[in-house]
Amino acid sequence: MHIVDGALSNPVVIAGTAMAIGGIAMGLKQLTLERIPATGILSASFFVAALIHVPIGPSSVHLVLNGLAGLILGWAAFPALFVGLLLQTVFFGFGGVTVIGVNLLNIAAPAVLAWLLFGRLVERGTPMSGAIWAGVGGAFSIAATTICVAFSLALTGDEFIPAAKLVLLAHIPVMVIEALLTGAAVYLVRQVRPDLFTAVKGVAP
C-alpha cells in the first residue's frame, strides 16, 4: 500500500506529486470551518488504522480506512489523508518521503471517487441502506487503491497484471473488514448524529 523510495521512476513520482498537490488544493478549498473537526478525526483514524494488522496466511495486511474518510469528507479527504500519511512516513517509516505524492494519490483519489459514486446514496434513504452503500464504498476504495498501486508500479516497469493480482488478492480480507467498519461507522453516525453529513457539507465560507 505504501510505496517506498526508489521503487518508482522519476516521471511517475513527479506526475503523482503534481496531481496530489492539485488534490490537496481542491480539498483545502472545500475545507470549511464546519468540516475541520471531522477532517481531523478522520485524519487521526487513518493514521492509526495502518497499525492494525490483519493476519492472512503467512503474511498480514493493514487497514486503510480511506473509504470512510472519502465518504464523509469528499475532496477534503486529500488534506486529511495527506497529514496522516505524512506522519506515518515520518514516524513509522511507511513508504518513502519522495513518493509521498504518489502514495497520497493512490489512497485519496479512490476515496474521492468512492464519494462521487456512493456519497449521495450513503446520505439518503434509511440508515441501514446508507450503511450498506457505505460498505460498498469502503470495499471499493480499497480495491481501487490496490489497482492504483499496481498501476503506479506498472508505469515503472513491473508487470501490471501479476502485480495487481498480488496486491488485490492480499487485500480481499481488508476489503471485507473495511466494508463492515465503514458500514458500521456510517450506520452509527446516521443514527446518532444524522446532521453530520449535512453539517459537513456546510455553507461556503
CB of 128 to other proteins, least distance (A): 23
Nearer to other proteins (CB atom), residue 71 or residue 167: 167
Q: How many residues bind other proteins (CB under 8 A)?
A: 47
Kindly state whether residue 165 participates in binding other proteins, applying the rule CB under 8 A: yes
Alpha carbons 88 and 96: distance in angstroms, whole number: 10
Q: Write out the three cell numbers for 117.
A: 459514486
Task: Name the nearest CA neighbour of 72 among 144, 122, 128, 6.
Answer: 122
| 116 Cβ contact list (under 8 Å, min separation 6) | none
Stretch that binds other proteins, among 113-121, 130-138, 164-172, 191-199 (CB under 8 A): 164-172
Nearer to other proteins (CB atom), residue 195 or residue 205: 205
3-state helix, strand, coil in the chain (%, to 5): 75, 5, 20
Q: Which of residues 81-100 bind other proteins (CB under 8 A)?
A: 83-84, 87-88, 91-94
Nearer to other proteins (CB atom), residue 159 or residue 192: 159
**Cα Rg of the chain (Å, integer):** 16
CB of 113 to other proteins, least distance (A): 21
Which residue of 15, 172, 184, 199 would you call a contact of other proteins, by CB under 8 A?
A: 172
* Per-residue buried b or exposed e for 121-152, using 16+ beta carbons within 10 Å of the residue's own CB: bbbeeebeebbbbbbbbbbbbbbbbbbbbbeb
From residue 12, alpha-carbon distances to 18, 29, 54, 68, 104 in Å are: 10, 26, 30, 27, 13
Q: Write out the three cell numbers for 7.
A: 521503487
Q: Which of residues 28-67 bind other proteins (CB under 8 A)?
A: 31-33, 36-37, 39-40, 43-44, 47-48, 51, 53, 57-62
Alpha carbons 22 and 16: distance in angstroms, whole number: 10
Kindly state whether residue 166 participates in binding other proteins, applying the rule CB under 8 A: yes
Residue ranges that bind other proteins, judged by CB under 8 A: 1, 3-4, 6-8, 31-33, 36-37, 39-40, 43-44, 47-48, 51, 53, 57-62, 83-84, 87-88, 91-94, 149-150, 152-153, 158, 162-163, 165-167, 169-170, 172, 205
